[in-house]
Amino acid sequence: MNFEFQTATRVLFGAGKLAEVGGLARGFGSRALVVTGGNPVRAERLLELLERTGVTVTTFTASGEPTIALVEQGVAAAKAAGCEFVVSIGGGSVIDAGKAIAAMLANEGALLDYLEVIGRGRAIEKASLPFVAIPTTAGAGAEMTRNAVLASPEHKVKVSLRSALMLPSLAIVDPELTLDLPPALTASTGLDALTQLIEPFTCNRANPITDAFCVEGMRRVTRSLRVACSNGQNIEARTDMAMASLYGGLALANAGLGAAHGFAAPIGGMFTAPHGAVCAVLLPRVMATNLQALRSRGESAGEVLRRYDKVAQLLNSNADARADDGVRWVDELVSELKIPRLGTYGISRGDVSELATKAAKASSMKANPIALTPEELTTVLGNAL
């Protein structure tokens, strides 16, 4: 019963809360770098609200997965404009880009000095410039996390810039910003949220605080993901999913993840594949493999198996459900929501060995409830092709 819990300095949650951004952000300074996604039109209201309160805005587009080069460009743009704080409005990738830019604006040296795996892994020493995270999807939970996932195309890998000093100064989670998400994106991001609730709940670093978030988050996904996919204008369902995403971010940042995310990192580095959809198709395969491994060789595995039973009971809304029922529930939902298999992104059996080797070294894999063998890792990937 030893753990630490950290999160954003301030969280503002609720439909219509974006309207309060101007006055709150003005407290961070008068010049802002606003990081947007590929469709900057979605940020127009934010820009209007900021400018109305006297904030001078410089916009920076971060479309697709953020790369090291993109973050460096954002840092240069912010410095040239004399920006005093950073605001990101968009999905998890946009928020991660802004988070990294804000961190590098406050710390000397090159980005590679601070990156895991491919860099020098130097610790960030100074708190980021004030950073405001405004998610427009419900899945990544990046507004609650202390790391930014960045792609390095030349290394064919995704790596993290990570520090508690990177936690957002303010997170504004407004479910109204997700009302226009198309069904496919609602499904993939929603299943990412589910993965980020199941994995921290069953991982080897779970704690009582994150457990509470995971349990409540799974309840919300169970009752609302299908509704949000079929009727995107349902504000109650969108609110549930926004809250589930927030809970997932809190949980993963303070407990850990597991093998689904361990695989997602190298897959995202080697292939153009959406993170949420990758996690979704891997999740039931990872759950099934973990259960098999725990039952066959898990020492003192009873507690984790009971947790998988609890997952099944929450997902099925049935107190008699058991772990395998949870696997079936997730697998059926992934199929129902038409999540593509990994082969859709050009991944073949010839890539499995390399991906499994890289996944075994991923930081997320360290929290998996049991260490999976190379054969088990390749089986998971093979079953997801």
Domains and CATH numbers, the chain: 11-178 (3.40.50.1970), 183-384 (1.20.1090.10)
Rounded Cα distance between 241 and 4, Å, is: 26
Rounded Cα distance between 330 and 315, Å, is: 8
Q: How does DSSP classify residue 169?
A: S
Q: What is the pLDDT of residues 197-232, one digit of tens each?
A: 999 999 999 999 999 999 999 999 999 999 999 999
Taking Cα atoms as reference points, which of 277, 298, 246, 288 lies closest to residue 380?
288
259 has pLDDT over 80:
yes
pLDDT of residue 289: 98
pLDDT of residue 157: 83
134 has pLDDT over 90:
yes
Q: What is the largest CA-CA distance in the chain?
A: 63
Contact present, 34 and 77 (Cβ < 8 Å): no
The phi and psi torsions of 152 (rounded to 5 degrees) equal -120, 95
CA dihedral 174, 276, 199, 180 (to 10 degrees): 20
Average pLDDT over residues 158-182: 95
Beta-sheet pairing, 31-36 with 157-162? unpaired
Q: For residue 131, what are the β-bridge partners? A: 86
Taking Cα atoms as reference points, which of 153, 134, 124, 46 lies closest to residue 92?
134
Q: What is the pLDDT of residues 268-322, one digit of tens each?
A: 999 999 999 999 999 999 999 999 999 998 878 999 999 999 999 999 999 999 9
Q: How far apart are the first and last CA of the chain?
A: 39
Helix (H, G, I), strand (E, B) or coil at 309: helix
Average pLDDT over residues 105-134: 93
Average pLDDT over residues 96-107: 98
Signed CA dihedral, 87, 89, 94, 95: sign only: positive
pLDDT of residue 344: 96
Rounded Cα distance between 64 and 217, Å, is: 27
Please tell me the pTM assigned to this model: 0.96
Q: What is the pLDDT of residues 351-381, one digit of tens each?
A: 999 999 999 999 999 999 999 999 999 999 9
Percent of the chain's residues with pLDDT above 70 = 100
1 has pLDDT over 80:
no
Structure tokens that stand for 17 in this block: 């809360």
pLDDT of residue 159: 87
Rounded Cα distance between 247 and 54, Å, is: 33
Rounded Cα distance between 346 and 104, Å, is: 34
CA 200 from chain center: how many Å?
12
Rounded Cα distance between 50 and 85, Å, is: 12
Q: What is the pLDDT of residues 25-67, one digit of tens each?
A: 999 999 999 999 988 888 999 999 999 999 999 999 998 889 9
Average pLDDT across the chain, whole number: 95
Rounded Cα distance between 113 and 251, Å, is: 28
The phi and psi torsions of 172 (rounded to 5 degrees) equal -115, 110
Q: What is the pLDDT of residues 9-20, one digit of tens each?
A: 999 999 999 999
Where helices occur in the chain by DSSP H, the ranges are: 21-26, 44-52, 68-81, 92-106, 183-202, 208-230, 235-254, 259-270, 275-297, 302-316, 323-336, 349-360, 374-384
